[in-house]
Amino acid sequence: MSIFHQMAGGDYEQLVFCQHRETGLKAIIAIHDTTLGPALGGTRMWPYRSEEEAVVDVLRLARGMTYKAAVAGLPLGGGKAVIIGDPARDKTDALLRFYGGFVDTLKGRYITAEDVGTCQGDMDIIHRETAHVTGCDPAGGGGGGDPSPFTARGVLYGIKASVKKRYGVDSLRNLVIAVQGIGHVGFNLCRMLAGEGARLVVADINARALQRAVGEFGAVAVPADAIYKARCDVFAPCALGAVVNDRTLDQFRCTIIAGAANNVLAEERHGHALRRRGILYVPDYVINAGGLINVADELHGYQRKRVDERVARIYNTVLEIIATSEAEEISTHRAADMLAEQRIKQAGIFKKTACREVPKVG
């Protein structure tokens, strides 16, 4: 694997490897693009099978954050970090503090937040070593706290927009929605969907989470591999990515795919394949931007009302992307990419112009 080849292919700016022998810390920080502002993205802790797998994941995730921030209209670039390890076994306060120290050495080029395998409490520990962290405890002046309810709210808006487009209705009542993954975001989404009158089918490797969803929302639980074949109106992936792949593509029995997971498409060609099958795909980094919007607002003096208004805009953004997809006869993920790339390009042109106009001194 040529790392520089990987970076050049995706126009990445920086890849940082961090290690600390005593705590067992092995972390990788990827900064994709800072044209719009400093790179903000969560820290994921996962027991990757190899260092190569971790590098591929962090690069993909960082690029997704660039596009997510651009489409959401935020003055931020894209970055991501992964810590190689089992969060249930390997995560310690000392490891997180040393990691926070490494984040601090980047002097604000990268700002971290929680992700899979980390939580608000972990951000509080990291905050002891660096100010370049969001999503900390609001009681300690951290701002918005846990971003997962805001991510779920944005997904709800995206589902509503796609349902409006596909079925011409404003209500989710009696629609069948299959939710894959009942973690923090997935559970919050289930609560909101149940409140809208939707009928839920759920799957998760965590039996306790499944039982809770069944008990509280009247959801129907199915085995993890059976969720792809569930007959539903909307399939909402809320676990790990790459769930639309060669193996699953022909299994889907839905008309819409819209969920909180990152990198839902294993490859870009799978987005084109969904379009050919008549399945409306809502690009992941568009629909799951609510959490980023929430933590990003901490950088400007957190205001809950402002966050709620920005998260609500996801509804119109989804409709805009679907309209572009139809007008240009392209997949929705390509339409979303075009919107993000246009905003980044415009910002880059503005920066270059501003630099040329700065008068020389001396």
Active site residues per annotation: 80
Q: Cβ atoms within 10 A of the Cβ of 194, count?
A: 18
**Sign of the CA dihedral with 347 first, then 352, 355, and 357 last:** negative
User: Are the C-beta atoms of residues 280 and 166 closer than 8 Å to each other?
Assistant: yes
Checking phi first, is residue 340 left (phi over 0); if not, alpha (psi -120 to 50) or beta? alpha
Angle at 123 between CA 259 and CA 65, to 5 degrees: 40
Q: Residues, the chain, total?
A: 362
Q: What are the helix (H) ranges across the chain? A: 3-10, 51-71, 93-105, 120-126, 148-167, 184-195, 207-217, 268-277, 284-287, 290-297, 304-312, 314-328, 332-357
- Taking only Cα atoms into account, the Rg of the chain, rounded to an integer number of angstroms, comes to 20
- 119 Cβ contact list (under 8 Å, min separation 6): 146
CA dihedral for 263, 251, 237, 315, sign (positive or negative)? positive
DSSP code, position 241? S
